[in-house]
Amino acid sequence: MDSHHSYSQVKGVSTGTTILAVKFNGGVIIGSDSRASMGESYVSSKTINKLIQVHDRIFCCIAGSLADAQAVTKMAKFQLSFHSIQMESPPLVKAAASIMRELCYNNKEELQAGFITAGWDRKKGPQIYVVSLGGMLLSQPYTIGGSGSTYIYGYVDAKFKPDMSLEEATQFSTNALALAMGRDNVSGGVVHLVVITEAEVKHVVVPGNKLPKFHDE
């Protein structure tokens, strides 16, 4: 008989986190929880912001090793601002995602981080790109990541509708993150949301006591 092994599925090397991005009518919402953990039993930060601004209308959130992610985003931010100056116009979201992808793919042996890049540009409007661990680049209308994301696949598959309004998309993101935080012990704290549209970038924080409650709470 095989040795008694854990029943939960293999988690890979994800940061204890839940991140998501969703496209709505006119923009994107990118969101995450706010917990940083060392191992599974110590919360090293309750209020960390995992949403990194790489340009005026382009944000990134990270899943994986925090150190790797910070190094990559710092490099990407530099390359992107350089590119933007050369082109004399705001960069495309795809450009930002491509830079991340180059870095992830060329250094795939050393790095262990995946990214969600979301933003707005003049050419294609709101977009979401996922750069996964080995350096694959994929465009999706909504995406979730991090260890807490396994628990909400069913929820987001069922509840996502294309072309939602801002209110619906905000409710959708907040609910999804709250559900994931309720089941994943390494996700928690507050919900950070960034709403990116042509006009503005708005950072919304939903504190713990304002999170939606579900039937067993």
Binding string, 98-137, against another protein, x = CB under 8 A?
Answer: ----------------------------------------
25 binds another protein (CB under 8 A): no
DSSP string for 196-214: EESS-EEEEEE-GGGS---
40 binds another protein (CB under 8 A): no
Least Cβ distance, residue 4 to another protein (angstroms):
6
162 binds another protein (CB under 8 A): yes
- Phi then psi for residue 2, to 5 deg, are -55, 150
How far is Cα 103 from Cα 113, in angstroms, rounded to an integer? 11
Least Cβ distance, residue 163 to another protein (angstroms):
10
In the chain, DSSP assigns E strands to 19-24, 27-32, 36-38, 42-45, 51-55, 58-64, 113-121, 125-131, 137-139, 142-145, 191-197, 201-206
Other Cβ atoms less than 10 A from the Cβ of 31: the count is 29
* 47 given a catalytic annotation: no
Binding residues with another protein: total (CB under 8 A): 29
Least Cβ distance, residue 162 to another protein (angstroms):
6
Q: Which residues bind another protein (CB under 8 A)?
A: 1-2, 4-5, 7-9, 141, 150-158, 160-162, 175-176, 179-180, 182-183, 214-216
